[in-house]
A and B are shown apart, each in its own frame.
Chain A
Amino acid sequence: MMDHQEVQELLPAYADQELGIVETLEIERHLESCADCQREYAAQRIVSARFKKDASYFEAPAHLTQRIMDALPQDEPGTRFWQRSWSFNWRNAGAALAAMLALAWSVGLYLNLPSDQDKLTDEVVASHVRSLQVDHLSDVVSTDQHTVKPWFNGKLNFSPPVVDLAAQGFPLTGGRLDYLGGRPVAALVYRHAQHPINLYVWPTTERDVAPQLQNRQGYHLVRWTWDGMNYWAVSDLAARDLEQFGGMVRSMVRQ
């Protein structure tokens, strides 16, 4: 049996009809005799209805489609797919492209099986996004590797290699303690031309693995394993730039 507090917490989901049948019935029963919850439920419904009614829905202006079409580069990997498969000049076939893309998106042509590696990839991307949005990129803000490295002492049971790549155009801007796959990891924050890069480092017992490039949700990732450490770099940088970054980290770590 749900108590008053539990019902209060579930009222938004109840108002949105997002609960299962059992919880819904329990809440209905509680509402019959609790004026407090009735008021709260009504308030949720009223604000929700008012939002739907009065908040503006901004429809895309007519020129935006053309603007996006014009901005699409011709030699990107994503467009190669279309050229290869249908071998037509897709720049002159914007409508057809959009229609096919809509179809592919709705049907989900690219079904891959999720794996542990996939889940970790999702976690790395989520962590990167989180670090961008809460203004919480760095716990220790410093461009000096000799400040960032000792900051991790006592916070982690390993010592992440911290390399300085400012001369190569990838200045270190700070470090952060983060969690991936349920374990604490070091997150080193670099920048390249205003684009933040998160480099996650944690120890592993697995053997060395050569760098692999992936993309997920609009971000590139490069990961590798070397000398008992896992490295994952993630950024919205172009693949080439991020691979270059990974290459420089590897060469510096080996010195």
Chain B
Amino acid sequence: MPHLNSAFNLACWLTHNHQDAEDVVQEAYLRAFRFFDGFHGEDGRAWLLTIVRNTFYSWYQERQKLRQETAFDEQLHQAGAGDSVGQMPPDNNPEALLISKDSERQLQQALQALPLEFREVMVMRELEELSYKQIAGIVGIPIGTVMSRLGRGRKLLAAILAPDTAPQER
């Protein structure tokens, strides 16, 4: 399946949950197959990540709405999701899985605290190594905004990691 790792990585970082990420990625690939005729470009990975991101935001919107309507029970939901994945710890949190070193744990926690709009551009840049232009296309913002989000995101992250020594946010 083309670009599956990139799709799954982004989905994990957006959803914070392996099970939800799988759901989002599956839905995104179904959309990609369904809408393949609408693809006219050369950058298949960027196109697919755009769909993953769009699918995530639809899913997120629906979940927010469900929460409001039915007083969504987070604990119940997470326990249920954890059952279907053999190796998952009880809280089913992907960050918890891979933490072995202190430095990693600190960073993962700091990233969790970062607003989504910063986290997504940072993941696309640092982990997927996409260009500013590609990120601008995926997120639907000007290239200058990609730059300022990356710049501000890094400052925020530095401030969370080392509040005393980090450069001040302007």
Residues in B neighbouring A57, C-beta threshold 8 A: 5, 9, 127
Q: Are A64 and B26 in contact (CB under 8 A)?
A: yes
Residues in A neighbouring B29, C-beta threshold 8 A: 68
Interface size (B, Cβ < 8 Å)?
Answer: 74
Q: How far is the CA of A132 from the CA of B52 in the complex (A)?
A: 14
Q: Are A107 and B42 in contact (CB under 8 A)?
A: yes
Identify the closest chain B residue to A106 (Cβ). B44
Q: Are A217 and B50 in contact (CB under 8 A)?
A: yes
Decide yes or no: A40 and B140 within 8 Å by CB, A57-B127, A68-B25, A68-B26 being known contacts. Answer: no
A182 within 8 A of B: no
B79 within 8 A of A: no
B104 within 8 A of A: yes
Q: How far is the CA of A79 from the CA of B29 in the complex (A)?
A: 12
Chain B nearest CB, measured from A170 CB (Å): 16
Q: How far is the CA of A77 from the CA of B30 in the complex (A)?
A: 11
Q: How far is the CA of A101 from the CA of B44 in the complex (A)?
A: 10
Q: Are B127 and A60 in contact (CB under 8 A)?
A: no
Q: How far is the CA of A10 from the CA of B148 in the complex (A)?
A: 8
Q: How far is the CA of A57 from the CA of B6 in the complex (A)?
A: 9
Q: Are A54 and B151 in contact (CB under 8 A)?
A: no
Instruction: Indicate which residue in B13, B55, B65, B147 contacts A218 across the interface (CB closer than 8 Å).
Output: B55
- Chain A 63-108 interface residues, beta-carbon cutoff 8 Å to B: 64-65, 67-69, 71-73, 76-79, 81, 98, 101-102, 104-108
A48 within 8 A of B: yes
Q: How far is the CA of A194 from the CA of B55 in the complex (A)?
A: 14
Q: Are A108 and B42 in contact (CB under 8 A)?
A: yes
Q: Are A78 and B94 in contact (CB under 8 A)?
A: no
Residues in B neighbouring A50, C-beta threshold 8 A: 103, 107, 161
Q: How far is the CA of A245 from the CA of B32 in the complex (A)?
A: 23
Residues in B neighbouring A105, C-beta threshold 8 A: 2-3, 39, 44-45, 47-48
Chain B 131-170 per-residue mask, 1 if CB under 8 angstroms from chain A, else 0: 1100000001000000110110011011001000011000
B40 within 8 A of A: yes
Chain B nearest CB, measured from A26 CB (Å): 16
Chain B 3-44 per-residue mask, 1 if CB under 8 angstroms from chain A, else 0: 111011100110000100110011011111111111111101
Identify the closest chain B residue to A236 (Cβ). B58
Known: A65-B1, A67-B26, A101-B2. 13 other contacts (CB 8 A): A11-B151, A40-B167, A43-B154, A43-B166, A46-B158, A47-B154, A64-B22, A68-B26, A71-B26, A133-B60, A194-B65, A215-B37, A236-B55
19 A-B pairs within 8 Å (CB atoms) are namely A50-B107, A54-B103, A55-B123, A55-B127, A57-B5, A57-B9, A58-B9, A59-B8, A60-B1, A60-B8, A69-B1, A78-B32, A78-B37, A101-B2, A102-B2, A108-B42, A130-B140, A133-B60, A215-B35
A residues near B (Cβ < 8 Å) are 9-13, 16, 18, 39-40, 43-44, 46-48, 50-52, 54-61, 64-65, 67-69, 71-73, 76-79, 81, 98, 101-102, 104-108, 110-112, 126, 129-130, 132-133, 135, 137, 194-196, 214-219, 236
